[in-house]
Amino acid sequence: MNVAIVGATGAVGAEFLSVLIQRRFPVTNLRAFASNRSAGTRIEFAGRPVMVESLAPGCFDGCHLAFFSAGKTISREFAPTAVRAGAIVIDNSSAFRMQPDVPLGVPEINPDAIRGYRGIVAVPNCTAIILCMAVWPLHRAARLQRIVVSTYQAVSGAGARALRELHEQIEAAAAGRALVPKALPYPIVNNLFSHNTSIGPEGSNEEESKVIEETRRILGAPDLAISATCIRVPVPRAHSESINLTFADTLGELKARELLAAAPGVRVVDDREHNRFPMPIDASGGDDVLVGRIRADPSQPPGRGLSLFACGDQLRKGAALNAVQIAELVTNL
Amino acid sequence: MNVAIVGATGAVGAEFLSVLIQRRFPVTNLRAFASNRSAGTRIEFAGRPVMVESLAPGCFDGCHLAFFSAGKTISREFAPTAVRAGAIVIDNSSAFRMQPDVPLGVPEINPDAIRGYRGIVAVPNCTAIILCMAVWPLHRAARLQRIVVSTYQAVSGAGARALRELHEQIEAAAAGRALVPKALPYPIVNNLFSHNTSIGPEGSNEEESKVIEETRRILGAPDLAISATCIRVPVPRAHSESINLTFADTLGELKARELLAAAPGVRVVDDREHNRFPMPIDASGGDDVLVGRIRADPSQPPGRGLSLFACGDQLRKGAALNAVQIAELVTNL
């Protein structure tokens, strides 16, 4: 299959390459696209060098599958071109996620919306994917009424430059030098801050709005009440989420643990005796969303409330892995 | 006034000394107590060296005021001795916090329970103090029904050794060396984890149970429904809390912001335009609890739900400052 990656030099782009190889995706020919700044450099795929190209007229001719992760402006401009050239586009940007005719795909949750689809399939926001993976098995069993989620989001979610800044600030902190923010608005080492996207009139930042809207769409629950607070923390990789749930039907803690243990793509890490629960260092680089601290919520009527803590690698299940899983479904691999 | 500090060489002990000086507390004579390991060393107070002593029979004779911050075992054993010797004890441990005849004091909230009291006054858990400071002005106006709080707790909350471990791990990470946990159960740099206190049968860890029980007691709201998830993050100082509130009466966002802006000990940091909200680096070393991200919660009926994000220096307002404020009230300064 002829595969294009748009945004090949970014944080998610690098993950696309490694996930394609890891899952033995049948790539006949790979083309890597990025901004003019990166064009002409080389990346490596399956042991061979690949020249990075600029997007240009005709660049998707002969392409079967195009993964986009270069921001919504690039997706808006070039994804329709790729589709017209005959490619299936799997788009990691927010450009098409809320468009009713574009599936918003999480293969473990809504495979029927994705399977055999032609055109653009959107990959949801990383925080929404991790949240949905953790709550879907429970929602199916007892219908969610409300979610209150607070996040602990990794720096690589803000891109490769922000991740370099985290490492540079760790070096600066070790040497006793001042922490000078450049890619991020504030120092991130020894600190944390509200997600640095703009705040709408109702008080949610863009990340929170995405979590709220996309979660409803992925779960097929348009009336689900969701409160989200998104915070950036000094962790390189893997988002964590503190999740409080209210159910319409009764769901006990033991049944919830059983359902989560049986859910594909979820791994229960919930060892109270040894105080071992989901942590970013354990979720990083892995495929599963880790779920733990599963407990009845004493602040709600018995059987109606649960709390969880989840961690997932937002570059993998939150982006590249989810995208390649979608590719497997649309191409019926 | 003759003042004793028990636990003088710990993370909170050092803060007692600096807060007493900063607030010009009338100390005639200061005695510093610590474990046998530290006895014989010297600390500095108001420019003079003070010899650290072991606790021993008669050590509180002539003492007017004793600040305890050496863990609940030491408090259980020695606080009653200090009271019998005529001292007022201000205890930062959890030993007496839920004892009905011991005031659980936050001077901005329940001064009448503290003023002129003789005996033991308990300083609440740091996370509970910061939570209560942020919600008290709102609770008074519209009666809280439910709180869902997720924390981002600083490493110094686990003591001076844990704080040194954070700095050592930053150096190790900068040098590319492995992060070896000693004081804490898991690596804390580039990571975060569920608060490492033991988990009770109902699934809450000890920190979460304290937040739930003590918040009810401080606010005088024994039936308040509270869900708490306590997480340790790689921040040296100042706890952060993502707080979701449900009210019995109507309270709008603008009124909430007004009430918080007028509350002593609270500073509203809520600049949506410049994306500036409470951060640990801004709360560290300060007296105020910073509150921001004040917004109506779209997941609740209009006027009944609010979300907030708060940061407070847990060694100061969460411990030493709150203790010295209590001392000022009990001694009618």
In angstroms and rounded to an integer, the radius of gyration of the C-alpha atoms of chain B is 20
Contact A299 B226 (CB under 8 A): yes
In percent, the amount of chain A with pLDDT more than 70 equals: 100
Nearest-CA distance B305 → chain A (Å): 10
Asked if A231 and A152 count as a contact pair (C-beta separation under 8 A), the reply is yes
Contact A192 B299 (CB under 8 A): no
Each residue of B44-85: pLDDT tens digit? 999 999 999 999 999 999 999 999 999 999 999 999 999 999
Whether residue B126 lies in the annotated active site: yes
pLDDT at A333 over 80: no
Q: Which residues of B touch A163 (CB under 8 A)?
A: none
Contact B192 A277 (CB under 8 A): no
- pLDDT for position A245: 98
The chain A residue lying nearest B234, using CA atoms, is A190
| Sign of the four-CA dihedral B166, B167, B170, B175 | negative
Contact A297 B194 (CB under 8 A): no
Asked if A126 and A232 count as a contact pair (C-beta separation under 8 A), the reply is no
- What would the two tokens of residue A287 be? 């495929």
Whether residue A139 lies in the annotated active site: no
The chain A residue lying nearest B293, using CA atoms, is A203
Contact B173 A174 (CB under 8 A): yes
Verdict on whether the full-model pTM lies above 0.90:
yes
The minimal CB distance from A244 to the residues B198, B227, B307 is found for: B227
Sheet of strand A225-229: strand arrangement: A225-229, A144-152, A239-247, A305-312, A289-296, A266-268
In percent, the amount of chain B with pLDDT more than 70 equals: 100
- Secondary structure element (H or E) that encloses residue A134, with its range: helix A126-142
pLDDT at A306 over 90: yes
What's the rounded mean pLDDT across residues B154-159? 94
Q: Which residues of A touch B215 (CB under 8 A)?
A: none
**Which of these is catalytic: A64, A139, A195, A239?**
A239
Write the CB contacts of B20 (distance below 8 Å, at least 6 apart in sequence): B3, B27, B30, B45, B324
| Banded model confidence at residue B332, pLDDT cuts 50, 70, 90 | confident
The chain A residue lying nearest B298, using CA atoms, is A227
Predicted ipTM of the assembly = 0.96
Each residue of A60-71: pLDDT tens digit? 999 999 999 999
Nearest 5°: CA angle at A11, between A7 and A17?
70
Q: For residues B232 and A157, give the distance between their C-alpha atoms in angstroms, rounded to a whole number.
A: 20
Mutate to test the interface with A, among B151, B184, B226, B227 (most CBs of A within 10 A): B227
The chain B residue lying nearest A169, using CA atoms, is B174
Spell out the domains of chain B, with CATH numbers in brackets: 2-124+319-330 (3.40.50.720), 128-314 (3.30.360.10)
Q: Which of A291, A147, A231 is nearest to B239 (CA)?
A: A231
- pLDDT for position B116: 84
Contact B227 A307 (CB under 8 A): yes
pLDDT at B333 over 80: no
Specify the length of chain B in residues.
333
Q: For residues A300 and B96, give the distance between their C-alpha atoms in angstroms, rounded to a whole number.
A: 28
Q: Which residues of A touch B233 (CB under 8 A)?
A: 152, 192, 233-234
- Secondary structure element (H or E) that encloses residue B243, with its range: strand B239-247
Q: Which residues of A touch B170 (CB under 8 A)?
A: 170, 173-174, 189-190
Each residue of A103-156: pLDDT tens digit? 999 999 999 999 989 999 999 999 999 999 999 999 999 999 999 999 999 999
Q: From residue B315, how far is each of A173, B130, B154 by CA, in Å? A: 21, 11, 10
The minimal CB distance from B229 to the residues A185, A235, A307 is found for: A307
- Tell me how crowded residue A2 is: count the other CB atoms within 10 A of its CB: 17
Write the CB contacts of B48 (distance below 8 Å, at least 6 apart in sequence): none
Q: Which residues of B touch A191 (CB under 8 A)?
A: 235, 279-281
Q: For residues A253 and A259, give the distance between their C-alpha atoms in angstroms, rounded to a whole number.
A: 10
Q: Which of A152, A210, A276, A279 is nearest to B205 (CA)?
A: A276
- pLDDT for position B304: 98
